[in-house]
């Protein structure tokens, strides 16, 4: 095996676990755990992207690796139901820049990355054992974000390097395109000007990553959070034709923008935003009209405990029968925080903090078959070594969020 992982047994692990509210000595080791995955290469650095549970109860992890290149490499990791390391593999250096999410479609898992030589986007399929199929080439370049539709298709937000356009597309797992439209990032934009420069800088292994997102409402309206008309904006579209914009929540370049978004039901969405470092959570808002508005017009709850311009993730999940908008982000004291809002009212019903001793940053989370939650993150050992970590919360621990 090219790289050898081992689990860090921290001297303070029992205290850390207690501080994270994760289990007790009699807990099922598969229902509640914290794992940090060390590596024999102390200079190695990892950027976790997403995690999904496999059919054997274990977990598949998609991550990027920092290397001596402009782009990050691609890594897949498989752990068992108790979080014990099973296997890992690095893709060929030909492929770089993996983007989330890790999509579960028809029993298999899909993600996208690009070929370094020409930035062409490829679809990768992984089965439940962690085995990769041959990649499928698409017609698009520079992938920015992906998500799966309820119909089992892939939504792709990408960037056209030749035309300097944001591109929003729906395609099958085999790469067949059903819808695609391009959107201007700003009239007269040059490759060296803004926002093209910001978009390209986001591909750097160490560069800041704008909070790109793409999704589809149940009324067949599509949305993406990306650069449009000079700003990082949330755009709603039918994808019927290029620049077919039904509505925009417009940011200010990238200093004020949406940081996460999810549809709750009908025209109701849940989102977070930031403005010059400050963070706001908008657990429930109605899209009364899809006109052009400023993101700063959205009222929201401020959370000063979050790091400046915090990365935020939100998902709509059911917890103990309560439909919940569950947000995850990073606090200034180095913990991951989960914020649960009742979807029907937008009321904050629970808060939970994960991590102690080291610095922890969230990368992704998903519901598990046992009605618990698995949270993927990055931990900095001794403040220097970036390692992948996984928190598993039992169903009882998750219920505490809404009780």
Per-residue pLDDT at 83 exceeds 80: yes
Rounded Cα distance, 223 and 199, in Å? 19
Strand ranges across the sheet with 322-330: 313-319, 322-330, 336-342, 348-354
- Average pLDDT of the chain? 90
Alpha-carbon span 201 to 209, nearest angstrom: 8
The answer to whether residues 54 and 40 touch, using CB atoms and an 8 Å cutoff, is no
Tokens standing for residue 327: 């947000």
Quote the pTM value. Answer: 0.92
> What pLDDT is attached to residue 237?
95
Interval 155-184 mean pLDDT: 97
pLDDT at residue 1, as a whole number = 39
Predicted pLDDT of residue 262: 96
Give the pLDDT score at 29.
Answer: 85
* For residue 15, pLDDT beyond 50: no
Rounded distance between C-alpha atoms, residue 1 and residue 89, angstroms? 8
Q: Identify the band that residue 4 occupies on the pLDDT scale cut at 50, 70 and 90.
A: very low
What pLDDT does 288 receive?
Answer: 67
Could you tell me if 186 and 164 are in contact, meaning their C-beta atoms sit under 8 angstroms apart?
A: no
Give which of 109, 160, 155 is closest to 139, Cα–Cα: 160
Predicted confidence band of residue 381 (pLDDT cuts 50, 70, 90): confident
Closest to 7 measured CA to CA, from 77, 103, 93, 76: 77
Tell me the pLDDT band of 27, cut-offs 50, 70 and 90: low
Give how many domains the chain has, as a whole number. Answer: 1
pLDDT above 90: residue 393: yes
pLDDT at position 24 over 50: no
pLDDT at 2 over 50: no
Element (H, E) at 16: helix 13-19
7 strand-pairing partners: 37
Q: Which two tokens stand for residue 16?
A: 């850390």
Burial of 246 (0-12, 13-18, 19+ CB in 10 A): middle
Q: Give the per-residue pLDDT at 40.
A: 74
The whole-number pLDDT of residue 233 equals 95
**pLDDT per position as a tens digit, 85-128:** 999 999 999 999 999 999 999 999 999 999 999 999 999 999 99
CB 36 within 8 A of CB 397: no
- How does pLDDT run across 306-354, given as a tens digit for each residue? 999 999 999 999 999 999 999 999 999 999 999 999 999 999 999 999 9
Burial of 267 (0-12, 13-18, 19+ CB in 10 A): middle
The torsion angles phi and psi of 318, rounded to 5 degrees, stand at -95, 125
What residue numbers bound the domain in which 94 lies?
A: 5-399
Please report, for residues 188, 238, 336, 397, the alpha-carbon distance to residue 391 in angstroms, rounded to integers and kept in the order given.
47, 38, 10, 12
- pLDDT higher than 80, residue 39: no
The pair of three-digit structure tokens given for residue 91, joined into one six-digit string: 């893709």
Identify the CATH number of the domain in which residue 108 sits: 2.130.10.10
């Amino acid at each position: 095996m090219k790289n050898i992982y081992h689990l860090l047994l921290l001297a303070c692990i029992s205290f850390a676990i207690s501080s994270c509210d994760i289990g007790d000595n009699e807990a099922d080791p598969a229902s509640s755990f914290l794992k940090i995955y060390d590596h024999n290469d102390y200079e190695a650095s990892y950027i976790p992207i997403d995690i999904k549970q496999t059919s054997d109860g274990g977990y598949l992890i998609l991550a990027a690796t920092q290397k001596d290149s402009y782009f990050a490499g691609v890594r897949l990791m498989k752990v068992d139901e108790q979080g014990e390391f099973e296997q890992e593999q690095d893709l060929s250096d030909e492929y770089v820049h993996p983007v989330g999410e890790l999509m579960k479609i028809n029993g298999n898992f899909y993600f996208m990355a690009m070929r370094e030589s020409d930035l062409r986007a490829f679809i990768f399929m992984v089965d439940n054992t962690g085995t990769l199929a041959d990649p499928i080439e698409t017609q698009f370049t520079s992938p920015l974000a992906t998500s799966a539709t309820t119909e089992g298709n892939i939504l792709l937000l990408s960037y056209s390097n030749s035309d300097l356009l944001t591109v929003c597309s729906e395609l099958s797992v085999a790469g067949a395109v059903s819808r695609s439209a391009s959107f201007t990032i700003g009239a007269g934009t040059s490759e060296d000007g803004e926002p093209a420069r910001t978009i390209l800088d986001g591909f750097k292994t160490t560069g800041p990553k704008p909070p790109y997102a793409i999704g589809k409402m149940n009324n067949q309206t599509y949305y993406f959070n990306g650069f449009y008309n000079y700003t990082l904006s949330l755009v709603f579209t039918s994808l019927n034709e290029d620049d077919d914009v039904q509505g925009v929540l417009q940011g200010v370049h990238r200093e004020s923008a949406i940081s996460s978004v999810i549809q709750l039901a009908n025209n109701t969405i849940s989102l977070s935003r930031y403005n010059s470092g400050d963070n706001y959570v908008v657990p429930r808002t109605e899209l009364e009209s899809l006109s052009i508005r400023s993101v700063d017009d959205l009222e929201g709850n401020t959370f000063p405990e979050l790091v400046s311009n915090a990365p935020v993730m939100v998902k709509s999940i059911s917890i103990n029968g309560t439909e919940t908008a569950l947000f995850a982000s990073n606090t200034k004291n180095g913990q991951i925080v989960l914020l649960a809002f009742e979807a029907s009212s937008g009321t904050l019903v629970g808060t939970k903090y994960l991590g102690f001793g080291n610095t922890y940053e969230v990368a992704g989370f998903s519901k598990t078959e046992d009605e618990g939650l698995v949270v993927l993150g990055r931990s900095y050992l001794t403040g220097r070594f970036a390692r992948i970590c996984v928190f598993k919360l039992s169903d009882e621990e998750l219920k505490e969020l809404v009780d």
